[in-house]
Structure 1
Amino acid sequence: MKFNPFVRAILLLASLHSAASWAARQNTIEEEVADFYGELDMVSIATGTSKRIDKAPAVTTLITAEDIARSGASHLDEVLEMVPGLHVAPSTISRLDSVYSIRGLQTGFNPQVLVLLNGTEFKNSFSGGLPYTFRFPANIIERIEVIRGPGTAVYGADAYSGVINIVTKNLSSSANSAGARIGSFGSRDLWLQTGGNWQELALGFALEHQQSDGDTDRVVNADQQTVFDRIFGTKASRAPGALATRYDILNAHATVQYQGFTWEHWWWQQRDGGLGPGGAQALDPAGYQKFRDYRTKLSHVHQLNDNLSWTNDLSYLDARSETYFVLFPAGTRLPIGADGNANFTKPVGRVTFTEGYIGSPRSNHQDSRFNSILNYQGVNEHELRLEFGAFEQKLSPRELKNFGPGVIDGTVAQIDGQLTDVTGTDYIYVKPVSRTNVHLSVQDIWQIAADWALTYGVRYDHFSDFGSTVNPRLAVVWDTAHNLTTKLLYGSAFRAPSFNELFLQNNPSALGNPNLDPETIDTVELVFDYQINFDNHLVFNLYQYRAKDLIDKTAVPGTSSLQTANLYNLDGQGAEFEWNWRPAAHWRADFNFAYQDTTNRATDLQVANAPGQSASLRLYYDINSNWQVSGWAHWIADRQRAANDNRAPLPDYQLWNLSLNYRPDQSPWQVKTAIRNLLNKKAYEPSGTAISNDFLLEGRSLTLQISYNWQP
Structure 2
Amino acid sequence: MFKIHLNKRLMLYCCIGVGLLTTTVPNYAITDPDSDSVYDYLSSLSLEELGEVEVTLSDVFDIFDAVVAVKEVSVATGTNQSTARAPAVTSVITASDIEAIGATDLDEVLETVPGLHVSRRDFGYAPIYSFRGIYTQNNPQALVLINGIPMTGLFFGNRSHVWGGMPINSIARIEIVRGPGSAVFGADAFAGVINIITKTKNDIDGTEIGARVGSFDTYDAYLLHGDQWKGFDVAFSMEYHDTQGHGEIIEEDIQTSYDKMFGTHASLAPSAVNVQQRNFDARLDISRENWRLRTAYQGRHNQGTGLGEGSALNPNRLTEDRLHADLTYHNRKFTENWDVTTQLSFFNNESGAPVESWVLPPGAFGGAYPRGLFYSASFSERHTYLNLSGFYSGFKKHTIRLGTGYHYGDFYEVKELGNSGINPSTGLPLPPGSQVVDFTDTPYASMPEKARQNWHFFLQDAWAFAPNWELTTGIRYDEYSDFGSTTNPRIALVWQMTPDLFSKLLYGRAFRAPSFRELYLNNAAVPLPNPNLEPETIDTLELAIDYSVRKNLHLALNLFAYEWRDAVRFLPEPTDPNILSVQNAGKQTGQGFEVETRWLVNKNFSVLANYAYQHAVDENDKNSGFAPHQTGYLRTDWLVYPNWYLNTQLNWIADRKRAFGDPRTALDDYTTVNLTLRRKEIREGHWNFAMGVRNLFDIDSREPSVGPGQDGIITIPHDLPLAGRNYFMELRYRF
Q: State TM-score, norm by structure 1.
A: 0.92
Give the conservation status (yes or no) of the 8 Å contact 1:149–1:161.
yes
Moved more, 196-205 or 695-704: 196-205
In structure 2, the partner of 1:353 is: 369
Q: Secondary structure at the match of 1:136?
A: coil
Letter paired with 2:720? F
Q: Which amino acid letter does the alignment assign opposite residue 281 of structure 2?
A: N
Identity %, equivalent residues: 35
Which amino acid in 2 is paired with 1:646?
A: P
Name the CA distance, whole Å, in 1 between partners of 2:408 and 2:371.
Answer: 40
Matches within 5 A, 1:119-518: 119-134=148-163, 135-171=165-201, 174=204, 175-216=206-247, 218-284=248-314, 286-302=315-331, 303-324=333-354, 325-333=357-365, 352-395=368-411, 396-406=413-423, 415=433, 418-518=435-535
1:232-278 CA deviation, whole Å, 9 max, x = no partner? 22211001111101011111101121221111111111111111112
Alpha-carbon shift at residue 306 of structure 1 (Å): 3.3
The residue aligned with 1:680 is 698
Match of 1:83, as an amino acid?
V
* 1:567 corresponds to 2:598: no
Deviations 1:360-415 (A, max 9, x none): 10110111100001111111111110110010111121111111122699977652
Does residue 690 (structure 1) correspond to residue 700 (structure 2)? The answer is: no
| Matched residue SS, 2:641 | coil
**Cα drift, residue 202 of structure 1:** 1.6
For 2:129, the equivalent position in structure 1 comes to 100
Larger displacement relative to structure 2 (668-677 or 226-235): 226-235
Residue in 1 that maps onto 2:57 = none
- Counterpart of 2:634 (choices 612, 617, 627) is 617
Query: Aligned pair in 2 of structure 1 residues 697, 472: CA closer, same or farther (>3 Å)?
Result: same
Distance 1:22 1:186 in 2: 56
Q: Tell me, what secondary structure is at the counterpart of 1:57?
A: coil
**Secondary structure of residue in 2 paired with 1:333:** helix
Report the CA distance between 1:195 and its aligned residue.
Answer: 2.5
1:589 to 607, 612, 625: 607
Distance in 2 of aligned mates of 1:483 and 1:172: 31
Give 2:687's aligned residue.
669
Give the match's secondary structure for 1:702. Answer: strand
Q: Is the 8 A contact 2:362 2:369 kept in 1?
A: yes
CA gap of 1:413–1:48, structure 2 versus 1, over 3 A, is closer
Amino acid at match of 1:180: A
Instruction: After TM superposition, give the deviation of residue 430 of structure 1 in Å.
Output: 0.6
Deviation at 1:561, TM superposition (A): 2.7
Distance apart, 1:19 and its partner CA: 7.8
Secondary structure of 1:398's aligned partner: strand
Distance 1:133 1:411, change over 3 A: closer
Cα drift, residue 506 of structure 1: 2.2
Report the alpha carbon displacement of residue 449 of structure 1 after superposing the two structures with TM. 1.1
Are 1:544 and 2:561 matched, yes or no?
Answer: yes
Shift of residue 131 of structure 1?
A: 2.8
CA pair 129-413 structure 1, distance change in 2 beyond 3 A: closer
RMSD between aligned residues: 2.1
Match of 1:345 in 2: none
Q: Aligned AA for 1:650?
A: L
User: 5+ unaligned residues in a row in structure 1: which ranges?
Assistant: 1-11, 335-350
User: Is the Cα–Cα contact under 8 Å of residues 172 and 194 in structure 1 kept in the other structure?
Assistant: no
Alpha-carbon separation, structure 2, partners of 1:358 and 1:531: 59
Q: Contact (CA 8 Å) 2:27, 2:498: kept in 1 or not?
A: no
**How far apart, in 2, do the equivalents of 1:95 and 1:596 lie?**
27
Looking at structure 2, the residues matched to 392 and 21 of structure 1 have their Cα atoms a distance apart, in angstroms, of 50
Offset at 1:20?
12
Closer, same or farther: CA 553–704 of 1 in aligned 2, 3 Å: same
Residues of 2 paired with 1:44 and 1:28: CA distance? 28
2: distance between equivalents of 1:316 and 1:413? 44
Matched, 1:531 2:548: yes
Q: Secondary structure at the match of 1:353?
A: coil
Relative distance call for 1:664 and 1:200 in structure 2 (3 A) is: closer
Deviation at 1:464, TM superposition (A): 0.5
Shift in Å, 1:333 = 2.3
The CA distance in 2 between the partners of 1:678 and 1:29, in whole Å, is 47
Q: What is the CA deviation profile of residues 4-39 of structure 1, one whole-angstrom value per residue up to 9, with x for unaligned ones?
A: xxxxxxxx9xx99x989987x748798841551452
Native 8 Å contact 2:121 2:137 kept in 1:
yes
Of residues 101, 106, 116, the one that matches 1:86 is 116
Which deviations, in whole Å up to 9, do the C-alpha atoms of 1:565-590 show, x marking residues without a partner? 11211111111101111111121111
Tell whether 2:663 aligns with 1:634: no
Determine the C-alpha separation between the residues in 2 that align with 1:430 and 1:411: 18
**TM-score scaled by length of structure 2:** 0.89
Distance 1:147 1:412 in 2: 49
Aligned CA distance change for structure 1 residues 479 and 613 (closer, same or farther; 3 Å)? same
Match of 1:650 in 2: 667
Contact 2:180 2:189 in 1 (8 A): yes
CA contact (8 A) 1:392 1:435 kept: yes
Shift in Å, 1:213: 0.6
How far residue 419 of structure 1 moved from its aligned partner, in angstroms, is 2.0
Counterpart contact for 2:420–2:430, Cα < 8 Å:
no
- Of 402-411 and 297-306, deviating more is 402-411
Name the structure 1 match of 2:97: 67
Q: Which amino acid aligns with 1:392?
A: Y
| Secondary structure at the counterpart of residue 601 of structure 2 | coil
Structure 2 unaligned segments of length 5 or more: list them: 1-12, 31-44, 54-69, 707-713
State the one-letter code of the partner of 2:518: E
Residue 33 (structure 1) aligned to one of 47, 61, 66? 47
SS of 2:519's equivalent in the other structure is helix
Contact 2:420–2:431, Cα closer than 8 Å, also in 1: no
Q: Taking structure 1 as reference, are residues 137 and 228 closer, same or farther at Cα in structure 2, changes over 3 Å only?
A: same
Which letter does structure 1 place at the counterpart of 2:84? D
Moved more, 33-42 or 678-687: 33-42
Asked if the contact 1:32–1:533 (Cα under 8 Å) also holds between the matched residues in 2, the reply is: no
Q: Report the CA distance shift for 1:635/1:487 in structure 2 as closer, same or farther (over 3 A).
A: same
Secondary structure, aligned partner of 1:150: coil
SS of 1:501's equivalent? Answer: helix
| Counterpart for residue 147 of structure 2 | 118
> 1:436 & 1:489 partners in 2: Cα distance?
31
Query: What's the offset of the Cα at 1:220?
Result: 1.1
Q: Is the 8 A contact 1:131 1:291 kept in 2?
A: no
1:145/1:165 contact within 8 Å kept: yes
The C-alpha deviation readout for 1:450-507, integer Å capped at 9, x for no partner, is 1100000100000000100011100100111221111100000000000011111124
